[in-house]
Amino acid sequence: MKIYHGSENIIEKPIFGAGKPYNDYGLGFYCTEDIALASEWAVDSSRDGFVNCYSINLNGLNVIDLNSGEYTILHWLCLLINNRRFDLDTSLLREAYRFLNENYYVDTKDADVIKGYRADDSYFAFAQDFLGGQISLSQLSAALRLGKLGEQIMLKSECSFERIEFIEYIPLLAKDWYAKKKTRDDKARLEYRKMNRRDYVPGELYMTRILDEGVKPDDPRLQ
């Protein structure tokens, strides 16, 4: 498969063990199959960047696909709160953290590759609102589709790093791509604000109800 990594640098050989540990799925090399998203991620308001293009063969690798039927949004969320910086400053957030880890923990110790949603700042805020009881699970699901959120592919193991092959890099100008990046994020936030004005909806799964009922991964309401 062909994958792309947006960066301010040209990266011909990703280094295993390098990078920041507090990313969505922990320490690893984050890519996407969507070159347009990689292009947006590569630039900032006043900084140009590059899309690094690679090929990788996933055959024989242990791939955890969080968007497969094996997992739910709560599995993705549990992985997120265990890797991103997250303040547990209320009793509800602390209880949600405990419950998710007891019931939705994803063991990634032996994973070579992890695939799933990318939680940039706006989407991470949506997830925090759900954990804090402000929106329901169906609202969170809808929020994750706002702005056409892309799927990311994270290379985690040394074995996966050995499989990646550099193809080329493509220079990008901030003036061409930052506006697209900002438009996508602004649209997601605007649509979310509209959705978030809804009143409490009886019957939907809020974090408090999930805790009260002890909702488990096989509950059909999570599908």
**Distance, C-alpha 28 to centroid of its chain:** 13
Tens of pLDDT along 126-136? 888 899 998 89
Section 59-80 average pLDDT: 93
The fraction of the chain above a pLDDT of 70, given in percent, is 95
Helix extents (H) in 67-173: 73-83, 91-103, 121-131, 137-143, 158-163
Section 115-144 average pLDDT: 83
Q: Among candidates 128, 41, 115, which has minimal Cα distance to 84? A: 128
| pLDDT for 147 beyond 60 | no
Count of domains forming the chain:
1
Instruction: Give the residue numbers spanning the domain of 84.
Output: 2-222
Q: For position 149, what pLDDT does the model report?
A: 60
Tens of pLDDT along 151-200? 899 999 999 999 999 999 999 999 999 888 888 778 777 877 777 656 67
